[in-house]
Structure 1
Amino acid sequence: MKKIQRLKKNEDFQNVFQHGRSTANRQFVVYVLAQKGQPYNRIGLSVSKKIGNAVTRNRVKRYIREIVRVLENHFNIGMDCVIIARKPTADMDYWQTKASLSHVLKKSGVLRPIKDEQK
Structure 2
Amino acid sequence: MPARRNRVTRGEDYRQTVRAGRRVGGALCITHAVLRSPADEARFGFIISKAVGNAVTRNLVRRRMKSIVEQRLHRGFSGVDVVFRALPAAAAADFADLEREISRALDRVERWRAPAEAAS
TM-score range, shorter chain: 0.7 to 0.9
Aligned-CA RMSD value: 2.1
- State the TM-score, normalized to the length of structure 1: 0.84
- Superposition deviation, residue 82 in structure 1: 0.3
Q: 1:75 to 1:84 in 2, by over 3 A?
A: farther
Q: Structure 1, unaligned stretches of length 5 or more?
A: 113-119
Residue equivalent to 2:10: 9
- Superposition deviation, residue 5 in structure 1: 0.8
The residue type paired with residue 16 of structure 2 is: N
- Superposition deviation, residue 76 in structure 1: 4.0
Q: 1:12 to 1:20 in 2, by over 3 A?
A: same
The 8 Å contact of residues 46 and 62 in structure 2, kept in 1 or not, is answered as yes
User: Are 1:84 and 2:85 counterparts?
Assistant: yes
Could you say what secondary structure the match of 2:83 adopts? strand
User: Are 1:35 and 2:20 counterparts?
Assistant: no
The residue type paired with residue 34 of structure 1 is: L
Could you say what secondary structure the match of 2:12 adopts? helix
User: Are 1:47 and 2:48 counterparts?
Assistant: yes
The 8 Å contact of residues 26 and 88 in structure 1, kept in 2 or not, is answered as yes
The residue type paired with residue 32 of structure 1 is: A
- State the TM-score, normalized to the length of structure 2: 0.83
Could you say what secondary structure the match of 1:31 adopts? strand
Residue equivalent to 2:117: none
Residue equivalent to 1:71: 72
Q: 1:75 to 1:18 in 2, by over 3 A?
A: farther
Q: Residues of 2 paired with 1:65 and 1:110: CA distance?
A: 22
The share of aligned pairs that are identical, in percent, is 26
Number of equivalences: 112
The 8 Å contact of residues 7 and 44 in structure 2, kept in 1 or not, is answered as yes
Could you say what secondary structure the match of 1:109 adopts? helix
Q: Residues of 1 paired with 2:6 and 2:88: CA distance?
A: 26
After the TM superposition, list the runs of 4 or more consecutive aligned residues in structure 1 that deviate by more than 6 angstroms: none
- Superposition deviation, residue 38 in structure 1: 5.0
- Superposition deviation, residue 107 in structure 1: 2.6
The 8 Å contact of residues 16 and 31 in structure 1, kept in 2 or not, is answered as yes
